[in-house]
Structure 1
Amino acid sequence: MLKGFYTAASGMLSAQYRQNMLTHNLANAETPGFKADQGVARSFPTMLMQANSSQAGNLQNKQPIGALSTAVYMQEQLTNIRQGDVRQTGSATDLALLQAGTTDNQAVLFSVATENGERYTRNGNFQTDAEGRLATASGYLVQGIDGNPIQVDGDSFQVESGGTVLVDGEDRGTIQVVFAENTNILEKDGDGLYRTEEEPLPTAYGNGAIAFQLQQQALENSNVDTAQTMNEMLSTYRMFEANQKVLQAYDHSLEKAVNEVGRLT
C-alpha cells in the first residue's frame, strides 16, 4: 500500500515544480525577449510483480501478477526559443533581432559582457551608460564583433539592419550577434541572460545557413501565451489536488489500520 502512497506524493511534487515554472512564465509575459520554459515529466520504470510458488519445495515457479506503476518526476525543463512578436517603441536604444532560416532549436542572440564572462540575451531593451556605451538595463555592455563595447554617445545613432552602428555617419562598430545551433545547451542565468558551459557561441555573421537582421526602435515581445499558460496552471492545480486526495485516502486507510484493525477486543 505504501507504494501508492509514494506515487501520489511524487505526483504532487511534480505538479508543484510545474506550477512554479508556469508561474514564472506568466510573471514574465511582458518582459521583452523572454522565452517560456516547458517541463517534461516522466514516470519511473514500471515494476512487474510476480508471486513465488512453494509447491513441492520449488521456489522458482513464479506466477505473474501484473504491472505496478511507480513515481513520476520532472525530467527536464526546456526553453521554447520561438521568436515572439515585434512591436514598435520609437526609442533609438531598443533593438529587435529578427531571424529566418533557423529551426525551432536554433537562435541568434546578442552578446553582452558581465563580471562572470560572456552572456547572451534576446532582450534588446538597451540604454546608454554614463560613458555613452550601449548597455542592458542591468548595465552589462553590449559587445561589438571586435570584442569591444559599442560607443554611441547618446540617443542620436542609427543601427543598420546588418548590425552596423552609425553616429553622424561615423561607423562605431557592428553589434555582435551569435548563433546557437542547439539551444538546449543554453542555461538561463537571470536578468534575461543565457550562458553555456561549452565553448562561447560563434558569431552569426558569415553563416550562410541562417539569415537575421536588426530592427531599431522595436522590441521582441515575450513568447509566453498567457491564455494557454493559465489553462495549464489550472490543469496542473487539478492534478495536484487529485494526487492530494489519493494521499489523504491512503492516510485514512493507515489510520484505520492502526486504530481499528489492530485493536484488541
Structure 2
Amino acid sequence: MLRGLYGAASGMVAQQQRQEMLANNLANASTPGYKADQASLRTFPKMLLQAVNAQSMPVNRSYPIGELATGVYLQERIPNFRQGDLMESGNTTDVALLQGILPENEDGREMALFYTVEHDNEELRYTRNGNFTVDGEGFLTTAQGRYILSTDGERMAVGSENFTVAANGIVTNEAGVQVGQINVVLAEDPLQLVKEGDGLLRFTEDGELPSVVANEEIAYQIQQGFIERSNVDAGQTMTEMMATYRSFEANQRVLQAYDQSLEKAVNEVGRIG
C-alpha cells in the first residue's frame, strides 16, 4: 500500500513541476526571442517482484511475479529552438535573426543561430532576443544593458538610434560610417546551451560558439525593424496546462483513497477487542 502512496505522490510532484514549466512558457509568450521549454515524464526504474517460499512452491525456490512501477519524474527541461515568427515593430533598434534551413547534427537535432553578448567579467553569452537599444555612451546593447559584440569581438558603437543594419549584419551609423558587423554564431548542439534569464544562454562546453558570418553554407538574414516573437503556442500551452491539472487531481484522489484505507487499517482493522 505504501508503494501506491509513493507512486501517487511522485505523480503529483511531476505534474506540479510540469505545470510550473508551462506557466513560465505562457508568461513569456510575448517575450521576444523566447524559446519554450519542453519536457516529458519518465518512470523510475521498475522493480521485479518474485514469490519466495510460497506454499505451492518447492522450498528455497523463487518465481517471478512481474514488474512494479515505482513512480514517475519530470525529465530535464529542454528548450525548443524552433524559429519564431517575425513581427514588424518599426523600431530601428529592433533586429531579428531569420535563419534558413540548417543542417542536423549527429543526434538528428537541428542547429541554431544566435547573437553574441558580452556578460560579466568579459564572458560570452548568446541570445535570440533582438530587442536592442542604445545606451548613454552610444553602444548597441540588449534591453538589460549587455553589449552586443561584432565579428571582431568588440562592442558596437553606433552613436545614436539612427543607424542601419544590412541583411548580412553590417552596421552603418548616422554619418554613413560602417562601425562593424553583428556577430552570428552557430550552435551545432543547442542542448549544450543553458538558460540564465533575460533571454541569455550560456554555453556549457569549453571555448565559444563559432561564427558563421563568413560561412557560405549557413544561410541567414538580419531584419532591422522586426523582432522575433516567442515560439510559445499559447493555445496549445493552455490545453496542456488543463490536462496537467486534471492529472494532478487524479493522483490526488488516488492518494486520498490510500490514506482512507490506511486509516481504516489502523483504527478499525487493527483495533484490539
Q: TM-score, normalised by structure 2?
A: 0.93
Determine which of 233, 249, 264 is the counterpart of 2:241. 233
The amino acid across from 1:169 in the alignment is G
Deviations 1:118-164 (A, max 9, x none): 11000000000000000001000000111111011111111000010
The amino acid across from 1:179 in the alignment is L
Matched, 1:192 2:196: no
Distance in 2 (alpha carbons) for counterparts of 1:111 and 1:173: 13
Instruction: Identify, as 1 or 2, the structure richer in strand.
Output: 1
Once the 2 structures are TM-superposed, how far is the Cα of residue 207 of structure 1 from its aligned partner? 2.6
Determine which of 249, 266, 269 is the counterpart of 1:258. 266
Distance in 2 (alpha carbons) for counterparts of 1:252 and 1:196: 50
Matched, 1:170 2:169: no
The amino acid across from 1:187 in the alignment is V
The amino acid across from 1:250 in the alignment is Y
Once the 2 structures are TM-superposed, how far is the Cα of residue 58 of structure 1 from its aligned partner? 5.2
Q: What's the counterpart of residue 105 of structure 1?
A: 110
Q: Which runs of 5+ in 2 are unaligned?
A: none
User: How well do the aligned residues superpose, as a CA RMSD in angstroms?
Assistant: 1.5
Distance in 2 (alpha carbons) for counterparts of 1:206 and 1:145: 10
The amino acid across from 1:120 in the alignment is Y
Greater shift in the superposed pair: 48-57 or 70-79: 48-57
Once the 2 structures are TM-superposed, how far is the Cα of residue 56 of structure 1 from its aligned partner? 10
Distance in 1 (alpha carbons) for counterparts of 2:253 and 2:34: 36
Percent identity, please: 52
For the 8 Å contact 1:134–1:149, the answer to whether it is kept is: yes
Q: How does 1:181-220 map to 2 (within 5 A)?
A: 181-198=188-205, 199-220=207-228
Greater shift in the superposed pair: 146-155 or 99-108: 99-108
What secondary structure does 1:7 align onto?
helix
Q: How does 1:59-208 map to 2 (within 5 A)?
A: 59-102=59-102, 103=104, 105-116=110-121, 117-167=123-173, 168-198=175-205, 199-208=207-216
Deviations 1:66-116 (A, max 9, x none): 221111001211000001100111111000000012145311111010115
For the 8 Å contact 1:133–1:153, the answer to whether it is kept is: yes
Label 1:151 to 1:46 Cα distance change in 2 as closer, same or farther (>3 A).
Answer: same
Q: Which runs of 5+ in 1 are unaligned?
A: none
Q: TM-score, normalised by structure 1?
A: 0.96
Distance in 2 (alpha carbons) for counterparts of 1:57 and 1:74: 41
For the 8 Å contact 1:105–1:184, the answer to whether it is kept is: no
Distance in 2 (alpha carbons) for counterparts of 1:206 and 1:237: 49
What secondary structure does 1:49 align onto?
strand
Distance in 2 (alpha carbons) for counterparts of 1:38 and 1:23: 12
- Equivalent pairs, count: 265
Label 1:42 to 1:260 Cα distance change in 2 as closer, same or farther (>3 A).
Answer: same
Distance in 1 (alpha carbons) for counterparts of 2:243 and 2:151: 46
What secondary structure does 2:267 align onto?
helix
Once the 2 structures are TM-superposed, how far is the Cα of residue 57 of structure 1 from its aligned partner? 9.9
Distance in 2 (alpha carbons) for counterparts of 1:243 and 1:163: 52
The amino acid across from 2:268 in the alignment is E
Label 1:154 to 1:61 Cα distance change in 2 as closer, same or farther (>3 A).
Answer: same
